[in-house]
Amino acid sequence: MTGNDSTREGSGDNPGDDPGDNPGDDPGDDPGDDLGSAPGHGLAVGLGGGEDYVIDLGPVAVVLQAAQRDLVEYLSGFYAVRRAGSGHETGSRCGQVQWEIDVRLGAPDAGMTCTRWGVGVDCDPGARRARVRGVDPVHLAITVRKMVREALVEFCGSRAATMLHASAVTDGARVVIVVGDKGAGKTTLGLSAVLDLGWTLLSNDHLLLYRDHDATLVVTSLPTPIPVKTGTWCDWSHRLPAPWDTEAITPERARALPAGQRYRSPGRFLYTYRGLGQPHPLHTRLAERTVDVVLAGYGRAGALPAEPRQIEPQGVGLVDALGEHVRFDWWFGPANTHLLPRAERTPAQFAADSTQRLHDLAAVATATRWTHHGHLGPFLAATASRR
């Protein structure tokens, strides 16, 4: 089983989509869905004894009833998973159970709704229970991962969330949100904060913003694989662990490329948050921290680092600047799967909620435009007085 088998769910590269998703449901999404090339993430066909697990999503949780230990190991790359106690009690570490999902490797039962990949799903919305069956362990694992992700999306959507094309890091006291299109350096700046500065990665992309019960703005992120482009990987490979999977490249091929070609290579190295030593998903309240929003882009090669320039006027200027980075394409596109039934907002409602969340963000953040050379340190040094 290789990481780039085009017959599986996850080959292709669609700019702006979240790697690791199923292009059968969402075209071009998630090139890491084939799983098998990374050590420890191949899925075996054998069955073990069924056990109950709690998947901690922060304010909510999912109880998983699974007979495949390899499936649990795979999901552990994306979520915090632990064995459940008696009665499915989640304890103080987890939130309210959102769904219970019973997963078995085997032919779908009669009456199940089957995906195009042959995975059968049957849901009881009233009881908040679902059954999943499939004969292919890879497609079964991907389907379950998406269903767990949907529980997080449902929670955030019920709190009028929006989503930005943005990465985010924190040192506990300060949060830096890096916004930009593909190629703006969001992943590179996030890696530099983690590897150089010891910061925590909150989001590599798909940053969710929602209001907590007391109207405080909270940020979290979709648990998806983190794609690192070939050039960035070559710069950081001596500091990075082995990738979870690869797309159209191998470490040997990447290192053999001339320096000038590395940054033009379409290949990507895929990591999980756990693989980078990062807990995920985290829910971070912004009102209690210093918050910077950086609209980032790469500077010219050889040029001196630029001074960050504040966006004027603050507030309205930030809302206007961020509007084009709201992920309507994800929320109302095929990437946002609905394997578990849930209420969904209309585009107009989502737009109104997004505008309000951007105003909430503008009220607590300082907005800056900054051209960089792949390291967050110069920005932090130039803005240290904001603490």
379, two tokens: 């920005």
Structure-block tokens of residue 73: 């190991």
Nearest CA to 243 out of 7, 6, 19, 8 is that of 19
Query: What is the identity of the amino acid at 380?
Result: L
Measure the CA–CA gap between 4 and 23, rounded to whole angstroms: 13
Q: What is the pTM of this model?
A: 0.87
What region, left, alpha or beta, does residue 88 occupy, with left being phi > 0 and alpha being psi -120 to 50 degrees? left
CA distances from 220 to 59, 170, 317, 352 (A): 11, 12, 23, 20
Burial class of 159 by CB neighbour count within 10 A (0 to 12, 13 to 18, 19+): middle
Q: Using CA of residue 338, residue 336, residue 194, residue 243, what is the dihedral sign?
A: positive
- List, in sequence order, the alpha helices (H) in 5-126: 69-76
Q: What is d(CA 59, CA 156) in angstroms, rounded to the nearest whole number?
A: 10
What is the C-alpha separation between 77 and 323, in angstroms, rounded? 32
pLDDT for residue 97: 92
Strand partners, 193: none
CA 129 to chain centre: 24
Residues 6+ away with beta carbon under 8 Å from 127:
100
Task: Name 134's bridge partners.
Answer: 105
The three-class DSSP label of residue 272 is coil
Q: Going by C-beta distance under 8 Å and a sequence separation of 6 or more, which residues neighbour residue 304? A: none
Cα gap 223→297, rounded to integer Å? 25
For 352-376, b/e burial (b = at least 16 CB within 10 A) is ebbeebbebbbebbbbbebbbbebb
CA 32 to chain CA centroid, Å, is 13
Q: At what angle do helices 316-323 and 347-364 cross, to 10 degrees?
A: 140
pLDDT in tens, the chain (387 residues): 333 332 334 333 333 344 444 333 333 344 344 333 333 344 443 334 478 999 999 999 999 999 788 999 999 999 999 998 744 444 435 679 999 999 999 999 999 999 999 999 999 999 999 999 999 999 999 999 999 999 999 999 999 999 999 999 999 999 999 999 889 999 999 999 999 999 999 999 999 999 999 999 999 999 899 999 999 999 999 999 999 999 999 999 999 999 989 999 999 999 999 999 999 999 999 998 999 999 999 988 777 778 899 988 888 889 999 999 999 999 999 999 999 999 999 999 999 999 999 999 999 999 999 999 999 999 999 998 876
The torsion angle over the Cα atoms of residues 252, 253, 254 and 259, rounded to 10 degrees, is: 120
How many angstroms separate the CA atoms of 160 and 337, rounded?
18
Answer for the pair 166, 190: CB distance below 8 angstroms, yes or no: no
Which three-class secondary structure state does DSSP give residue 344?
A: coil
Query: How far apart, in whole angstroms, are the C-alpha atoms of residue 381 and residue 387?
Result: 11
